[in-house]
Amino acid sequence: MSKLYVFDHPLIQHKLTYIRDKNTGTKEFRELVDEVATLMAYEITRDLPLEEVTIETPVSKAVAKVVSGKKIGLVPILRAGLGMVDGILKIIPAAKVGHVGLYRDPETLKPVEYYLKLPSDITERELIVIDPMLATGGSASAAIQLLKEKGAQNIKLMCLIAAPEGVKRVQEEHDDVDIYVAAVDEKLNDHGYIVPGLGDAGDRLFGTK
Ligand code: PRP
Ligand code: URA
């Protein structure tokens, strides 16, 4: 059964407020998304398994812990997902990064695939699909489906803001995928935008319109 985790850490919530604010410009928006991605990555990796290794400190031998188990792969959904990658790599620098290119057709709101490049060993990796916005859920669900068709076994979804409709869709279509968000907003508007949301994440990140 898919679980939904909402990260209510005060720093995440504080930064998210300024990300939402329409008066926040591109430079600051990008920096804040990067910082929140780092904080969310810290939370999402809370349960990573550890194993003991023996090392030598300058003083003595010591048994200490390192992360063990499956290696991590990040899969941003282009293009807005790119805004969260570097923030996550700051604390998981060895992660490999695949890319799924999807855009949402503005009329039908259905995702259109245009690019896919994944690490060769995704079947052995714990994959984190990244996208700031989970609106209708069409893009995230399609990305997860593409990964499963390539053999991915272990997938998490990380978004800044979700609409209830998107959470429901991903949970119905992928009940093995847990969802990690900083906020679940009220609803979608008639154009499929999250209310109150933050507007168009890709445009705000890259300064396009
Ligand atoms: C946005 C967003 C998600 C998608 C969410 O991308 O980054 O990928 O819409 O909507 P959904 O849940 O209804 O599918 P967009 O299609 O605008 O492309 P972009 O990242 O290239 O701007
Ligand atoms: N995509 C966005 O960038 N924002 C929304 O609110 C919905 C989809």
The complex scores an ipTM of 0.98
CA gap 209, 204 in Å, rounded: 8
Of all residues in the chain, the percent with pLDDT exceeding 90 is 96
**The pTM is what?**
0.96
Average pLDDT over residues 90-118: 95
- Give tens-digit pLDDT for 19-59: 999 999 999 999 999 999 999 999 999 999 999 999 999 99
Of all residues in the chain, the percent with pLDDT exceeding 70 is 100
Average pLDDT over residues 94-109: 94
Predicted confidence at residue 209, as pLDDT, reads 84
Distance (Å) from CA 144 to ligand 2 centroid: 18
Q: Bridge partners of 53? A: 64
- pLDDT(145) > 90: yes
User: Is any ligand 2 atom within 6 A of the Cβ of residue 138?
Assistant: no
- Give tens-digit pLDDT for 162-209: 999 999 999 999 999 999 999 999 999 999 999 999 999 999 999 998
CATH class of the structural domain 4-206: alpha beta
User: Is any ligand 1 atom within 6 A of the Cβ of residue 157?
Assistant: no
Nearest ligand atom owner, CA of 110: 1
Cα–Cα–Cα angle for 172, 82, 139, rounded to 5 degrees: 25
Predicted confidence at residue 69, as pLDDT, reads 79
> Which residues, other chains included, contact 118 with Cβ-Cβ below 8 Å and sequence gap of 6+?
73, 75, 98, 99, 147, 150
Whose structure tokens read 């999250």?
A: 194
Whose structure tokens read 């060993």?
A: 121
Residue with the bigger pLDDT between 1 and 87: it is 87
Distance (Å) from CA 158 to ligand 2 centroid: 15
- pLDDT(150) > 90: yes
Helix axes 164-173, 138-149, angle to 10 degrees: 20
